[in-house]
Amino acid sequence: MPATELNRVTLARFNRAAIQILPDRIVVLYEFTSGLELIRASFGAGYWAMHEILEHGKLDHSRATCPDRNGPRELMVWEPGHDWQRVPIVER
């Protein structure tokens, strides 16, 4: 999963995700069908709690005006022979 603005301002190298496997989908920060087709992407409550803290000095916008307020804007996809590709998330 690509770095978020919180990764960039806190210099955190990785996103942490809890994976939940349901009978008909897999939920991370991103929700997929069992065939790994993207259904939707969103940020959890922890992301927004940290965003609110960083609004007081590190970020110049609120959640309401955040470019990512509807969720992540892209996904990294591996394509053999093409390496990692950034793929925009259209349904948000």
- What's the pLDDT tens digit per position in 6-56? 888 888 776 666 667 778 876 777 788 888 788 888 888 788 888 999 999
Return the minimum-mean-pLDDT range out of 4-8, 73-77, 87-91.
Answer: 87-91
pLDDT score of 17? 63
- pLDDT of residue 61 exceeding 90: yes
Please give the Cα distance from 78 to 49 (Å, whole number). 31
Tell me which DSSP letter residue 29 carries: S
Please give the Cα distance from 90 to 92 (Å, whole number). 6
The whole-model pTM stands at 0.69
Mean pLDDT of all residues in 58-78: 90
Chain center to CA of 60: 19
